[in-house]
Amino acid sequence: MEGQEGVTPPGPSAQPVPKDQAVLGEVLDQGTSPDRLVEDPPAKVDPKTVLYEERLSAAWWMWLLVLFAGLVGLIALAPINMWVGAAVGAVVAGGTAVALIASSTGIVITGESLQVGRARIERRFVGEAEAFRGSAVQRVRGPELDARAYMNFRVSVGPVVRIQITDPVDPTPYWLTSTRHPERMVEVLSAG
């Protein structure tokens, strides 16, 4: 089966499954993808089991900022001393890289909680979830946005999910977060 794209599930009707589709109970692209999707969680799930996990990291083109920042540091000080310019350029590039890595955020859904970035809430306070793509994203991030909402946006990730919060003591009406897999996230949230 070498060279074949996908994974073959066990069973009598074993057919290759593309790598971008989950196989029941398997984690896809381990070590190569920032996202882990677990397909069709069982009816009785351990509350600590991760049902959905996604890492929202910087897009490849944002890493060009690291190169640009390093070059600016080099060019600014090269006329004075080339070695000092190179050292400052390396430090600036390193600092920019650390900032990009630190700005990545995660989404984790378990049987008992939802965590988006630094915010965490129990699943019992999670209401309806809706997925938005295309022009609908501009609408929910713009004119329809409630200023009290918790927002977790990434420039490089277009789709968003709006998650209603039903906690009576929480003034936050909903969470709005970027995600690469909005329909799957809504499916997992709706199942629990």
Same domain assignment for residues 140 and 174: yes
Contacts of 177 (CB under 8 A, 6+ apart): 107, 116, 117, 151, 152, 153, 160, 161, 163
- Decide if pLDDT at 18 tops 90: no
Residue 97, token pair as written in the block = 């890289």
- Decide if pLDDT at 106 tops 80: yes
- Decide if pLDDT at 126 tops 90: yes
pLDDT of residue 44: 58
Higher-scoring residue by pLDDT: 119, 16: 119
Residue 26 inside a domain? The answer is no
Residue 156 inside a domain? The answer is yes
Same domain assignment for residues 175 and 83: no
Residue 24, token pair as written in the block = 């029941």
Same domain assignment for residues 113 and 165: yes
Same domain assignment for residues 42 and 94: no
Residue 24 inside a domain? The answer is no
Higher-scoring residue by pLDDT: 35, 29: 35
- Find the mean pLDDT for residues 53-61: 87
Same domain assignment for residues 68 and 158: no
Residue 82, token pair as written in the block = 């080339």
End-to-end CA distance of the chain: 37
Reported confidence tier of residue 192, pLDDT bands at 50, 70, 90: low
Same domain assignment for residues 87 and 72: yes
Neighbours of 87 (CB within 10 A): 14
Same domain assignment for residues 80 and 120: no
pLDDT of residue 103: 86
Structural domain range at position 93: 60-102
Residue 170 inside a domain? The answer is yes
- Tell me the pTM: 0.64
Residue 2 inside a domain? The answer is no
Residue 8 inside a domain? The answer is no
Same domain assignment for residues 124 and 176: yes
pLDDT tens, position by position, 137-167: 889 888 889 999 999 988 878 899 999 999 9
Same domain assignment for residues 43 and 130: yes
β-pairing, 119-122 vs 50-56, is: unpaired
Residue 16 inside a domain? The answer is no
pLDDT of residue 48: 76
Higher-scoring residue by pLDDT: 29, 36: 36
Listed in sequence order, the DSSP H helices in the chain are 64-77, 82-102, 135-141, 182-191
Residue 50 inside a domain? The answer is yes
Total tally of structural domains belonging to the chain: 2
Q: What percent of the chain has pLDDT over 90?
A: 52
